């Protein structure tokens, strides 16, 4: 944990707002899941599902990743952030664009408000990308972790450009093929290219650190990097150039193999860990790694059933996205929040008091009991919602919706307990 303390770390005013907005966005996305109701059993491209997806992907996952990256960049790049002022401006533009984007999808304003929201989102993400790339330019350390992060930034660029084009297409209709064709490219560039690559790059540093494991084999991480990127590039070539569908199994094999190499690295870290007892944060992390098997399995089922136009296939497609966003990614964030944010706040509050006064520990900034309730609520919610999507059961959709809403509520209580912590010191 002490490795998170560096002289290059940004101001707390850069990092903290991202965690706060992300927590609220997570809560809002779960409220919308409750309101969506039976729409969750409809086609995955329905406006309510798309609205929830974008609020969760951008407002929840991407926003908190931005905040965490600003804190972690000094570790991976060994240099300070290029511009903290740019990061602060970017936060507000990004937050406004996410709000407008989610609202435009929810009210089905696809040819009006969506265009302006998408353009504003493009500007905010270009600002973030510029800040990170210029930071990396000043870095003297070039390792596999930094390569993962920088490559994921380029995939984010592909994702946002394609998403903006899809938004403008709703009004101007310039795509030769149906927008759903480009939507799947947009989704995979974002979920695999941006999220998965970034998470693997950061996790390959943090997972051994938090497990307290040493001498892990980074060759597995390198294999993961090349296999996933090869699969993504081949997938783009197949979908944009060939259009035959003949390479899709090879795409799946390459990306899945890359995922398995990463999981093998994580398993090695787990086996070699010196910290045998796992707190709630690390339990969430282990669960998230196990949940990564779900989209790998579901994706091959979708490939084999791609010619089937049944409602079951549409629900399995929704389940595929759900398993990545609310399964793997959300579980990882729910856990890693307790491993990073308390320490970030603790540094801000107590760094100058170390050795001079008795201070609480980072784990004292939140309730481990509430975190435990959060874990069980979360597991129940994804299990119930997963079953509901497979078997088309509206009652379970309603039960699962309220369970994940309760998960978000408990998480936010702990989140605000951390960020609103008041300094408490005792004389030695």
**Domain housing 248:** 167-276
Q: Is residue 123 part of a domain?
A: no
pLDDT at residue 210 is higher than 90: no
Q: Is residue 398 part of a domain?
A: no
Residue 426: enclosing H or E segment and its boundaries?
strand 426-427
Q: At what angle do helices 63-76 and 197-211 cross, to 10 degrees?
A: 60
Q: Is residue 96 part of a domain?
A: no
Of 5-9, 147-151, 298-302, minimum mean pLDDT range? 5-9
User: What number of other Cβ atoms are within 10 A of residue 243's Cβ?
Assistant: 10
Residues 333-356: what's their mean pLDDT? Answer: 90
pLDDT in tens, 44-55: 889 999 999 999
Residue 242: pLDDT band with limits 50, 70, 90: confident
Q: At what angle do helices 197-211 and 280-291 cross, to 10 degrees?
A: 140
Q: Is residue 180 part of a domain?
A: yes
Of 82-96, 134-148, 164-178, 278-292, minimum mean pLDDT range? 134-148
Q: Is residue 109 part of a domain?
A: no
- pLDDT reported for residue 7: 66
Could you report how far apart the first and last alpha carbons of the chain are, in Å?
24
pLDDT at residue 32 is higher than 60: yes
Of 4-13, 328-337, 389-398, 404-413, minimum mean pLDDT range? 4-13
pLDDT at residue 126 is higher than 90: yes
Q: Is residue 209 part of a domain?
A: yes
pLDDT at residue 6 is higher than 60: no
Q: Is residue 311 part of a domain?
A: no
pTM: 0.94
Contacts of 408 (CB under 8 A, 6+ apart): 26, 27, 29, 30
Locate 123 and state its tokens. 């500007």
Residues 114-135: what's their mean pLDDT? Answer: 95
- DSSP one-letter code for 275: -
Q: How far apart are CA 256 and CA 269, in angstroms?
A: 20
- pLDDT reported for residue 74: 77
Q: How far apart are CA 43 and CA 29, in angstroms?
A: 18
Q: Calculate what percentage of the chain has a pLDDT beyond 70.
A: 98
Domain total of the chain = 1
Residue 311: pLDDT band with limits 50, 70, 90: confident
- pLDDT reported for residue 294: 96
CB 48 within 8 A of CB 32: yes
Q: Is residue 325 part of a domain?
A: no
Give Dmax (Cα) for the chain.
Answer: 72
pLDDT at residue 62 is higher than 70: yes
């Amino acid at each position: 944990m002490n490795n998170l303390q560096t002289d290059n770390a940004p101001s707390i005013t850069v990092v903290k707002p991202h965690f706060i907005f992300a927590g609220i966005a997570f809560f809002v996305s779960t409220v919308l899941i409750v309101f969506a109701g039976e729409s969750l059993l409809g086609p995955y491209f329905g406006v309510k599902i798309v609205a929830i997806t974008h609020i969760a992907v951008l407002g929840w996952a991407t926003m908190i990743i931005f905040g965490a990256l600003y804190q972690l960049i000094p570790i991976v790049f060994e240099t300070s952030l290029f511009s903290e002022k740019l990061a602060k401006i970017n936060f507000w533009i990004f937050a406004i664009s996410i709000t407008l984007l989610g609202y435009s999808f929810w009210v089905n304003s696809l040819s009006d408000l969506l265009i302006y929201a998408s353009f504003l989102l493009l500007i905010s993400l270009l600002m973030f990308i510029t800040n990170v790339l210029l930071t990396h330019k000043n870095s003297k350390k070039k390792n596999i972790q930094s390569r993962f992060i920088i490559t994921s930034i380029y995939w984010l660029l592909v994702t946002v450009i394609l998403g903006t084009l899809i938004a403008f297409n709703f009004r101007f209709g310039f795509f030769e093929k149906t927008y759903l064709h480009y939507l799947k490219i947009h989704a995979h560039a974002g979920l695999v290219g941006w999220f998965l690559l970034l998470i693997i790059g950061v996790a390959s540093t943090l997972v051994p650190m938090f497990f307290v494991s040493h001498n892990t084999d980074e060759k597995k991480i390198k294999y993961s990097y090349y296999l996933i990127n090869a699969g993504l590039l081949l997938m783009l070539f197949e979908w944009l150039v060939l259009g035959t569908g003949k390479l899709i199994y090879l795409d799946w094999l390459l990306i899945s193999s890359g995922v398995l190499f990463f999981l093998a690295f994580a398993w090695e870290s787990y086996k070699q860990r010196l910290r045998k007892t796992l707190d709630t944060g690390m339990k969430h992390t282990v669960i998230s790694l196990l949940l990564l098997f779900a989209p790998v399995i579901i994706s091959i089922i979708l490939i084999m059933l791609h010619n089937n136009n049944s409602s079951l296939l549409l629900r399995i497609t929704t389940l595929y996205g759900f398993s990545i966003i609310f399964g793997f990614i959300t579980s990882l964030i729910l856990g890693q929040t307790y491993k990073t944010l308390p320490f970030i706040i603790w540094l801000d509050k107590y760094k100058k008091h170390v050795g001079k006064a008795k201070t609480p520990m980072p784990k004292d900034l939140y309730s481990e009991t509430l975190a435990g309730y959060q874990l069980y609520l979360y597991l129940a919610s994804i299990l119930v919602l997963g079953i509901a999507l497979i078997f088309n059961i509206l009652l379970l959709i309603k039960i699962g919706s309220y369970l994940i809403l309760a998960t978000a509520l408990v998480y936010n209580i702990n989140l605000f307990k951390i960020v609103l912590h008041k300094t408490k010191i005792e004389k030695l």
